[in-house]
């Protein structure tokens, strides 16, 4: 016989605060955007912009148009294939982190090539910190 005052055992062994957001959402919906998602998006946009400015500013005339358009397009293509939320290729999270890091490193190197060393260092620190925290959240 069961005691009416006893507390039933929880059906979910995880505490409520540690559940994955995707588990509680109905099918066809996404979790809400967080500030970290927006910072990651801003880091990507800045990387693409820096690569475009580097291409247009650091090359002589006929090549500056080619490099200024091709470099950010290549970075966008790589991002869309491997890193984006709806990526074409589903890769391991470590591969995703490496690809994201390569885009950030390319933008940092472009800033250094334009003699904006401290801006490049600041961008690298912010971008890597946002990527690391986002990656930790994906594994949680």
Is residue 10 situated within a structural domain?
A: no
List the single range of 6-20, 85-99, 115-129 with lowest mean pLDDT: 6-20
Domain span at 71: 33-139
pLDDT in tens, 30-66: 777 788 889 989 999 999 999 999 999 998 989 999 9
pLDDT of residue 28 exceeding 50, the answer is yes
Is residue 4 situated within a structural domain?
A: no
pLDDT of residue 19 exceeding 50, the answer is no
Can you give the pLDDT at residue 22?
47
How many folded domains does the chain comprise? 1
Question: Average pLDDT of 67-92?
Answer: 91
Is residue 92 situated within a structural domain?
A: yes
Query: In the chain, pLDDT over 70 holds for what percent of residues?
Result: 80
Is residue 84 situated within a structural domain?
A: yes
CA angle 105, 111, 112 (to 5 degrees): 90
Is residue 97 situated within a structural domain?
A: yes
Is residue 7 situated within a structural domain?
A: no
Is residue 24 situated within a structural domain?
A: no
Could you tell me the pTM of the whole model?
Answer: 0.74
Q: What separation in angstroms does the CA of 78 have from each of 18, 34, 75, 126, 137? A: 33, 24, 5, 21, 22
57: nearest Cα among 115, 122, 105: 115
User: CA-CA distance, 128 to 117, in Å (whole number)?
Assistant: 16
Q: What separation in angstroms does the CA of 49 have from each of 75, 82, 85, 103, 111? A: 10, 19, 20, 12, 11
> Which 8-state DSSP code applies to residue 33?
P
Is residue 16 situated within a structural domain?
A: no
Can you give the pLDDT at residue 90?
87
């Amino acid at each position: 016989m069961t005691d009416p005052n006893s507390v039933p055992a929880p059906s979910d062994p995880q505490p409520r605060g540690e559940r994955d957001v995707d588990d509680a959402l109905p099918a066809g919906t996404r979790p809400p955007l967080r500030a970290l998602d927006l910072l990651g998006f801003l880091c990507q946009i800045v990387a693409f912009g820096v690569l475009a400015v580097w291409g247009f500013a650091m090359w002589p005339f006929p090549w500056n148009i080619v490099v200024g358009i091709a470099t950010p397009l290549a970075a966008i293509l790589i991002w869309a294939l491997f890193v984006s939320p709806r990526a074409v290729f589903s890769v391991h999270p470590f591969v995703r982190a490496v690809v994201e890091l390569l885009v950030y490193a390319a933008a940092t190197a472009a800033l250094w090539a334009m003699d904006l060393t401290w801006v490049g260092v600041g961008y690298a620190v912010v971008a890597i910190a946002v990527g690391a925290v986002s990656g930790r959240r994906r594994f949680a």
